Amino acid sequence: MSELSFPYPIPEYGTEPYWAACNEERLVMQRCQACGKFRWHPAPLCIYCSHSGYDWAPLSGRGRVYTWTVITHAVHPAAVARVPYVVVEVELDEQRDLRMVSNLVDCEADAIQFDAPVRVAFETHASGQKLPVFRLT
């Protein structure tokens, strides 16, 4: 690892199961045992009902493009070789307002549209950590 990679995620108390599942190419998030809602990012209490009990529940990995940006100005050493790249906010099919930031990969910037269906894939960071990214379907 060097400055030629974007930072790797540091697993912490409360987030380690998420990153461990990613390494098995599974997308999971916390689902509240009381109200059944998913939440993102990881949090100790449900952000909808404040209940403390949750399961790490699997997601289909399917969603839609909520918004995106095409980054052309490099602000990190690793970005110099990467620009242009697409950062996307995906709204996951399981729940309205369940949105995560990721990259949209293997696509032309001009081909991206609002609400376009996407599906998760996993890319391996130089650190060895697998990261969920998305492709247009």
Partner 1 sequence: MDSVANQACIVGIGHTEYSRDSGRSEMTLACEAIGAAIADAGLTPADIDGITKYTMDNNDPIDIARNLGIPELRYAAEVNYGGGGGPVGTIALGAMAVATGQAKAVVAFRAMNERSGRGTPRFGQAGTAPGASGVASYFSPYGLFSPAQMVALSARRHMHLYGTESRHFGEIAVTCRHHANMNPNAMMHGRPMSIEDHQASRMIAAPLRLLDCCLETDGGAAVVITRADRARDLRHPRVFIAGAGIGAGHWNYRSMVKDMDSPVSESTVIAKHLFRDAGIKHSDIDVLFIYDHFTPLVMMAIEDFGFCKRGEGKDFVSNGRLRWPDGELPMNTSGGNLSEGYMHGMQNVIEAVRQLRGVARCQVKDARHAFVSAGNAVPTSAMILRNEL
Binding site for partner 1 (CB under 8 A): 1-3, 5-10, 12, 15, 41, 47, 66-73, 75-79, 82, 85, 87, 89, 97, 100-103, 109, 114, 125, 127, 129, 131, 133
CB of 12 to partner 1, least distance (A): 6
Closer residue to partner 1 (CB): 31 or 103: 103
Closer residue to partner 1 (CB): 2 or 137: 2
Closer residue to partner 1 (CB): 58 or 77: 77
Sequence-separated contacts (24+) of 100-107 with Cβ below 8 Å: 100/40, 100/132, 102/131, 102/132, 102/133, 102/134, 103/133, 103/134, 104/65, 104/68, 104/133, 104/134, 104/135, 104/136, 105/133, 105/134, 105/135, 106/135, 107/135, 107/136
